[in-house]
């Protein structure tokens, strides 16, 4: 009797801890983007008490084990297809470079960061069925200024040395990545918002990005206790122009309605940005539960909020536009950028990064150029607005690359003057690879990853990211700050490296060796033999020669 | 007077080419600039060094630390003087070659006088008169000054200019009997490009011949001085790089392991582009042995009486077979050939070789443009051209050696090619 009571007591106490520790929330944020696009952003937040990861019932154990095994403090993985157009669409909640992007901070107790990093990427590669196992020292950099942790870290710790960053710009994202990603969710894809993530529909979008972000957040005010937050995100941009109607609904976007919230979630909310309703009116159907005005950093945002509660019918939220002949006007964001490759031929070229500051005050940015080893950049050719020594550069970090071992890594801390365009040019030389180093379809070209631009924006215009301390969408409401940190990825680029003839390794080996033998033979003769006179027979007449020729033919 | 005019014209031509608008194109040509010697890489290295970044950490700089601080000094203090400096260096090289061939003429005269008795009666006319011998230095000078290969090499401001200067200086010091100078210069050249290490053998023989006395002692002394100089340079370079020997990987390591496969006029680039990874090490070793060690012993044994010929042939062979050759190397050994003007009559492939040089020099840039810029040719075209260029050079060198042994045979046995009145021909046995 006593034993059973004790068991019950134990059970109750454990359950109590769980209720406090684990928490799952799901949210959707929808925003019409100029001119005719629609941004749909899903986020699934699982919070877990870090110490009891092994006993969690909501947080994915597979991910938790990776985190604890490789002593990862913070992890960001995104798999993206398409290009976010910052100058048209404004800024996304979380920016991602196209292809695969992975960065992580390891615990300060890790000394051999590179080994842990390689193991981490290999394990994640298995977990998400992505080619992350191709991440190695030759495509990994340690950003010195451009990145900072999003989670709680101990102050006065050098976290930069524990950071590793890598991108695989050629990675193609598809269903095989989405399915394991969905399996990490408590309700998987059977219930809740994840049921909308139908790969048939979402891989048809202009831009889609799935991500996993793990960080530490403070549980209490003084940060004496720490929780682990696992945030899974999906960002989609639909182009409504191609269906010839700006009206949207869940049925149109995802092929089905919303079956209801995930039963395990503590909150399931949908936010629709209806700020554009004033200039370009549309009607939401069904009507939102509440409408909130958020004033943040000089820009007003009106959010319509739906609180999804369990129902026995499909929920189909949609918008209907009254007039069809209008288009949304782009309000240029404070900072826009562009990147392209210069030059012709396959011998010398240059990479140009153009950064435009549209704001009336100077903006400080860090630009990280990360050139793969097969694109050797020359620091001596760095020009900012055509000048070798520019006053705009406040600090510079350069780590030269080494072939097949280390990428070229350049970081510039710059102050962009107000209302200006800054052009950063750096020259590179094309590298001739070994024939087995070319990927299949070598003439397709080689992808250069995005440059990173991290900035502290003075205004929240076009800014939708959550504040560092927040994890849910409601944290952006009235979240005015002196500045708004953001890390952007420029567009990538492609170069076409010169190729050898892949079909003739044997011929080349034979021909080159023949030439060597051409030298060896006579030199061997000269050194080992001596000249002598040898009698020759009487000279043959021309007629005889011709006769001999015919004789041979007859044989 | 005529001599002075030659220097002035050649100097002006070089200086003008460096200041021409097309200078960048010359300096970037694959035939002229290799990853090892290009001006662009030198600038990058100096820039990194100036910004307190170790240039040997990355893959962009392959010169020795001595060159690094030398050019760092000039680029910081007198950047405008550099074109002039390169021109003057090249003119000094030409002058040193002139001096070398002059002393060689004297050496040749003495040797000829000594062996006069062994010469066959009807070959006496083949002995060189003083006037013929005195012509050679003028030819050497003219060839070095006006050969397009050496002119373009200087105009491209490659560090091969310095290497040529060092090799020429060591040859001159050896022919005039300055042991320490010769060893110091050859150590400097070796420190820069490794392949001149071969020249220590002919130089040791030359010094032993000139400074009469115990031959073996002279060899050992030369070798000792060279090793000491070279070791000192390696140490001094490490001292410049704050005691780190990591630069060795970027200089000697780079030359030996051939990691950069950018096309040049040599044989390595396409061979190792197309090489199977499994056999890479084997063939790198085979090719480097071919360039560094294979011919030195047999050629030394065969031509130990002609150290200058040995030096010429070794310079030429290392220019053909080194991992990153450029036209500057070719121009340098071509300038040495007029010293052997008296052998030209015995050479059989002069015409073929001359045609091949002209054709490949014209075709190389053409097919390079077709491959890299218009995309209408592929790598095989340029490979074919480099292959035939190498073949032409090999024919030239082997022909020269054959000519030498034929002349040697003729001097000894007379000009007649008959055995007992019946026609006969020269064959190797």
Q: What is the mean pLDDT of residues B188-194?
A: 95
Span of A80-84, A288-292, A467-471 with lowest mean pLDDT? A467-471
* pLDDT band at residue A17 using 50, 70 and 90 as cut-offs: very low
Q: Which residues pair with A77 in a beta bridge?
A: A102, A212
Instruction: Determine which helix (DSSP H) or strand (DSSP E) holds A101, and give its type and residue range.
Output: strand A99-106
Mean pLDDT of A315-327: 83
pLDDT score of A6:
44
Chain B: closest CA distance from residue A161 (Å): 18
Q: What is the mean pLDDT of chain B?
A: 94
End-to-end CA distance of chain A: 114
- Tell whether B187 is covered by a domain: yes
pLDDT for the residue A11: 39
pLDDT for res A238: 94
H-helix or E-strand containing A8? Answer: helix A2-21
Compare all CA atoms of chain A with the CA of B424 and give the residue at the minimum distance.
A535
Res. B311: pLDDT tops 90: yes
Put simply, the answer to whether A531 touches B406 (Cβ < 8 Å) is yes
What burial class does residue A251 get, using C-beta atoms within 10 Å of its C-beta: 0-12 exposed, 13-18 middle, 19+ buried?
middle
- Kindly determine whether residue A403 and residue B287, on different chains, have CB atoms separated by under 8 Å: no
Residue carrying structure tokens 């409401």: A477
Q: Is there a contact between A400 and B53 if contact means CB atoms under 8 Å apart?
A: yes
pLDDT of B334: 96
Rounded mean pLDDT, B396-407: 95
Residue numbers of B between 29 and 58 with CB closer than 8 Å to A: 30, 40, 43-44, 46-48, 51, 53, 55, 57-58
B48 vs A contacts (CB less than 8 Å): 379-380, 398, 400
- Residue B419 to residue A406, Cβ atoms within 8 A: no
Across the range B334-352, mean pLDDT stands at: 94
Reported as a single tens digit per residue, the pLDDT across B59-111 is: 889 999 999 999 999 999 999 999 999 999 999 999 999 999 999 999 999 99
pLDDT at A379 > cutoff 50 = yes
pLDDT score of B413: 87
Is residue B64 included in any domain, yes or no?
yes
Instruction: Give the closest of B44, B274, B409 to A378, CB-based.
Output: B44
Residues of B in contact with A532 (CB under 8 A): 426-429
Q: CB of A88 within 8 A of CB of A35? A: yes
Domain A335-463, CATH homologous superfamily name and number: Mu homology domain, subdomain B (2.60.40.1170)
Contact B48 A498 (CB under 8 A): no
**Residues forming a β-bridge with A406:** A402
Look at residue B51 and tell me whether its pLDDT is greater than 70.
yes
Across the interface, do B426 and A528 touch by the CB < 8 Å criterion? no
Residue A2 has pLDDT above 70, yes or no: no
The reply to whether B15 touches chain A by the CB within 8 Å rule is no
What does the pLDDT read at residue B429?
82
Binary contact (A530, B429; C-beta < 8 A): yes
On the question of pLDDT at B230 being above 60, the answer is: yes
Chain B nearest CA to A367, separation (Å): 19
Pairwise CB contact (< 8 Å): B60 & A534: no
Mean pLDDT value of segment B246-260: 94
Residues of B in contact with A347 (CB under 8 A): 28, 30, 372-373
Do the Cβ atoms of A498 and B386 come closer than 8 Å?
Answer: no
Q: For chain B, give the secondary structure using H, E and C.
A: CHHHHHHHHHHHHHHHHHCCCCHHHHHHCCCCCCCCCCHHHHHHHHHHHHCCCCCCCCCCCCCCHHHHHHHHHHHHHCHHHHHHHHHHHHHHHHHHHHHHHHHHHHHHHHHHHHCHHHCCHHHHHHCCCHHHHHHHHHHHHHHHHHCHHHHHHHHCCCCHHHHHHHHHHHHHHHHCCCHHHHHHHHHHHHHHHCHHHHHHHHHHHHHHHHCCCCHHHHHHHHHHHHHHHHHHHHHHHHHHCCCCCCHHHHCHHHHHHCCCCCCCCCCHHHHHHCCCHHHHHHHHHHHHHHHHCCCHHHHHHHCCCCHHHHHHHHHHHHHHHCCCCCHHHHHHHHHHHHHHHHHHHHCCCHHHHHHHHHHHHHHHHHHHHHHHHCCCCCHHHHHHHHHHHHHHHHHHHHHHHHHHHHHHHHHHHCCCCEECCEEEEEEEC
Q: In chain B, whose CA is at the least distance from the CA of A505?
A: B274
Comparing CA positions, the residue from A490, A348, A450, A442 lying closest to residue A141 is A450
pLDDT of A9 > 60? The answer is no
Q: Could B60 and A500 be called an inter-chain contact, meaning their C-beta atoms sit closer than 8 Å?
A: no
Closest CB from B59, B299, B406 relative to A400 = B59
What's the confidence (pLDDT) of residue B211?
86
What residues 374-413 of chain B have any CB closer than 8 A to a CB of chain A? 378-380, 383, 387, 390-391, 394-395, 397-398, 401-402, 405-406, 409, 413
Residue of chain A nearest B304, judged by CA positions: A527
Q: Show the tokens assigned to B13.
A: 């031509």
Q: Give A466-476 pLDDT, tens digit per residue.
A: 888 888 988 98
Residues of B in contact with A534 (CB under 8 A): 419, 424-427, 429
Q: How far apart are CA B151 and CA B171, in angstroms?
A: 21
Structural domain includes residue B226: yes
CA of B131 to nearest chain A CA: how many angstroms apart?
Answer: 30
- The answer to whether A212 and A284 are in contact (CB under 8 A) is no
Residue A19 confidence class, pLDDT cut points 50, 70, 90: very low
Average pLDDT on B147-176 reads 96
Of all helices (H) and strands (E), which one includes residue A534? Answer: strand A531-535
Q: Which residues of A touch B396 (CB under 8 A)?
A: none
Q: Which pLDDT belongs to residue A554?
A: 52
Report in angstroms the alpha-carbon separations of B416 from A480, B343, B421, B423. 106, 18, 10, 9
Query: Is B421 inside a domain boundary?
Result: no
pLDDT surpasses 60 at A90? yes
Q: What percent of chain B has pLDDT over 90?
A: 87
**Over residues A97-115, mean pLDDT:** 93
Taking an 8 Å cut-off on Cβ atoms, the answer to whether B53 and A346 are in contact is no
The segment(s) of chain A belonging to CATH 2.60.40.1170 are 335-463
Asked if pLDDT for residue A13 goes beyond 60, the answer is: no
Highest mean pLDDT among A12-26, A150-164, B194-208: B194-208
In a mutational test of the B interface, the residue from A533, A537, A540 whose CB has the highest number of chain B CBs within 10 Å is: A533
Tell me which residue in A505, A512, A526 faces B267 most closely, judged by beta carbons. A512
Residues of A in contact with B317 (CB under 8 A): 519
Question: Would the pLDDT of A327 be above 80?
Answer: no
The answer as to whether B127 is a domain residue is yes
- Whether B239 maps to a domain, the answer reads yes
A-interface mutation test, from B52, B60, B269, most A Cβ less than 10 A away: B60
Bridging pattern class, strands B418-419 and A531-535: unpaired
Q: How far A550 CA sits from the closest chain B CA (Å)?
A: 27
**Number of structural domains chain B divides into:** 1
Indicate yes or no: CB of B270 within 8 angstroms of CB of A376.
no
CB A488 within 8 A of CB A337: yes
Interface touch A523/B263, C-beta < 8 Å: no
Q: Let me know if residue B40 belongs to a domain.
A: yes
- Token pair, residue B161, equals 């200019």
pLDDT digits (tens, 9 = 90+) for A417-444: 999 999 999 999 999 999 999 998 898 9
Q: What is the mean pLDDT of chain A?
A: 88
Domain coverage including residue B114: 2-415
Flag whether B425 is in a domain: no
pLDDT of A12 > 80? The answer is no
Judge whether residue A323 has pLDDT over 80: no
Mean pLDDT, rounded, for A99-126: 94
Q: How far is B372 from chain A (nearest CA, A)?
A: 5
Q: Is the pLDDT of residue A203 over 80?
A: yes
Query: What whole-number distance in Å separates Cα of residue A214 and Cα of residue A225?
Result: 17
B-chain residue closest to A401, CA distance? B58
Region for A255 from its dihedrals, namely left if φ exceeds 0, alpha if ψ lies in -120 to 50, beta otherwise: left
> Distance (Å) from the C-alpha of residue A514 to the closest C-alpha of chain B?
10
Confidence of residue A381 (pLDDT cuts 50, 70, 90): very high
- A533/B426 Cβ within 8 A: yes
Residue A483 confidence (pLDDT): 87
pLDDT of res. A553: 56
Q: Provide, as residue numbers in chain A, all residues whose Cβ is less than 8 Å from the Cβ of B31.
A: none
Asked if B213 has any chain A CB less than 8 Å from its own CB, the reply is: no
Q: What is the mean pLDDT of residues A110-114?
A: 93
- The interface predicted TM-score (ipTM) is 0.94
Pick among A519, A528, A537, A540 to test the B interface (most B CBs inside 10 A):
A519
């Amino acid at each position: 009797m006593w034993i059973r009571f004790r068991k019950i007591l134990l059970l109750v106490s454990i359950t109590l801890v769980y209720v406090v520790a684990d928490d799952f929330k799901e949210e959707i944020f929808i925003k019409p983007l100029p001119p005719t696009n629609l941004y749909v952003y899903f986020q699934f937040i699982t919070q877990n008490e870090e110490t009891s990861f092994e006993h969690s019932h909501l947080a994915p154990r597979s991910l938790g084990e990776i985190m604890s095994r490789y002593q990862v403090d913070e992890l960001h993985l995104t798999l993206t297809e398409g290009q976010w157009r910052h100058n048209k669409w404004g800024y996304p909640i979380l920016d991602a470079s196209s292809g695969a992007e992975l960065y992580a901070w390891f615990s300060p107790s890790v000394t051999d960061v590179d080994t842990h990093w390689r193991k981490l990427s290999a394990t994640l590669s298995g977990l998400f069925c992505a080619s992350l196992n191709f991440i190695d020292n030759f495509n990994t950099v340690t950003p010195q200024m451009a990145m900072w942790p999003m989670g709680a870290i101990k102050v006065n710790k050098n976290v930069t040395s524990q950071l590793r960053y890598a991108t695989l710009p050629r990675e193609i994202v598809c269903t095989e990545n989405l399915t394991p990603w969905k399996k990490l969710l408590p309700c998987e894809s059977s219930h809740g918002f994840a049921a909308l993530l139908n790969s048939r529909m979402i891989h048809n979008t202009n831009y889609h990005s799935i991500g996993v972000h793990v960080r530490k957040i403070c549980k209490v005010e003084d940060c004496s206790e720490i929780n682990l937050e696992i945030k899974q995100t999906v960002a989609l941009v639909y182009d409504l122009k191609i269906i010839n109607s700006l009206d949207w609904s869940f049925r149109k976007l995802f092929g089905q309605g919303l079956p209801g919230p995930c039963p395990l979630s503590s909150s399931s909310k949908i936010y629709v940005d209806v700020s554009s309703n004033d200039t370009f009116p549309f009607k939401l159907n069904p009507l939102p539960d509440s409408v909130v005005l958020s004033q943040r950093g000089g820009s007003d945002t009106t959010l319509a909020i739906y609180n999804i509660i369990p129902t026995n019918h499909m929920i189909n939220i949609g918008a209907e536009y009254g007039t069809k002949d209008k288009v949304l006007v782009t309000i240029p964001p404070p900072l826009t950028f562009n990147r392209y490759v210069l030059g012709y031929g396959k011998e010398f070229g240059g990479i140009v990064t153009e950064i435009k500051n549209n704001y009336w005050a100077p903006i400080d940015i860090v630009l990280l150029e990360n050139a793969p080893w097969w694109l050797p950049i020359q620091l001596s050719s760095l020009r900012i607005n055509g000048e070798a020594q520019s006053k705009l550069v406040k600090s510079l970090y350069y780590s030269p690359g080494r072939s097949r071992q280390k990428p070229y890594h350049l970081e510039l801390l710059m102050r962009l003057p107000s209302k200006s365009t800054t052009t950063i040019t750096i020259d590179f030389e094309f590298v001739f690879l070994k024939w087995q180093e070319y990927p299949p379809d070598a003439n397709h070209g080689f992808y250069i990853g995005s440059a990173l631009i991290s900035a502290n924006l003075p205004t929240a215009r076009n800014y939708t990211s959550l504040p560092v301390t927040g994890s849910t969408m409601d944290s952006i409401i009235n979240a005015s700050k002196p500045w708004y940190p953001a890390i952007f990825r420029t567009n990538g680029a492609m170069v076409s490296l010169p190729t050898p003839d892949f079909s003739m390794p044997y011929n080349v080996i034979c021909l080159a060796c023949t030439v060597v033998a051409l030298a060896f033979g006579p030199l061997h003769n000269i050194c080992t033999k001596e000249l002598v006179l040898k009698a020759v027979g009487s000279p043959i007449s021309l007629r005889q020669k011709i006769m001999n020729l015919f004789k041979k033919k007859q044989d | 007077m005529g001599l002075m005019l030659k220097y002035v014209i050649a100097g002006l031509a070089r200086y003008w080419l460096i200041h021409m608008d097309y200078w960048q194109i010359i300096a970037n040509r694959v035939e002229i600039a290799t990853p090892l010697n290009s001006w662009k890489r030198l600038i990058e290295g100096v820039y990194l060094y100036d910004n307190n970044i170790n240039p040997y950490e990355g893959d962009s700089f392959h010169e020795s630390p001595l060159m690094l601080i030398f050019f760092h000094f000039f680029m910081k203090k007198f950047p405008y003087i550099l074109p002039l400096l390169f021109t003057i260096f090249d003119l000094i090289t030409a002058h040193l070659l002139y001096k070398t061939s002059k002393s060689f003429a004297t050496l040749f005269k003495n040797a000829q006088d000594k062996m006069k008795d062994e010469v066959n009666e009807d070959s006496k006319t083949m002995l060189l008169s003083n006037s013929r011998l005195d012509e050679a230095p003028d030819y050497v000078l003219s060839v070095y000054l006006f050969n397009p290969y050496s002119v373009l090499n200087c105009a491209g401001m490659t560090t091969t200019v310095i290497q040529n200067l060092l090799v020429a200086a060591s040859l001159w010091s050896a022919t005039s009997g300055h042991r320490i100078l010769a060893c110091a210069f050859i150590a400097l050249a070796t420190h820069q490009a490794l392949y001149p290490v071969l020249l220590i053998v002919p130089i040791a023989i030359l010094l032993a011949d000139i400074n009469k006395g115990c031959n073996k002692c002279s060899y050992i002394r030369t070798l000792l001085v060279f090793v000491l100089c070279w070791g000192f340079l390696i140490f001094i370079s490490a001292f410049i790089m704050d005691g780190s020997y990591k630069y060795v990987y970027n200089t000697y390591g780079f030359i030996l392991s051939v990691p950069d496969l950018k096309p040049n006029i040599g044989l390595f680039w396409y061979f190792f582009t197309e090489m199977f990874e499994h056999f890479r090490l084997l063939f790198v070793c085979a090719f480097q042995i071919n360039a560094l060690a294979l011919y030195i012993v047999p050629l030394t044994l065969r031509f130990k009486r002609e150290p200058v010929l040995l030096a010429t042939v070794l310079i030429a062979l290392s220019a053909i077979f080194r991992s990153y050759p450029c036209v500057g190397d070719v121009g340098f050994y071509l300038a040495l050939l007029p010293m052997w003007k008296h052998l030209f009559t015995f050479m059989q492939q002069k015409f073929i070789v001359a045609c091949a040089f002209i054709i490949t020099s014209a075709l190389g840039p053409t097919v390079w443009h077709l491959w890299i810029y218009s995309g209408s040719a592929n790598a095989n075209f340029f490979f074919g051209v480099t292959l035939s260029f190498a073949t032409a050079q090999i024919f030239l060198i082997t022909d020269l050696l054959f000519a030498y042994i034929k002349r040697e045979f003729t001097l000894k046995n007379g000009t007649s090619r008959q055995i007992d009145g019946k026609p006969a021909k020269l064959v190797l046995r």
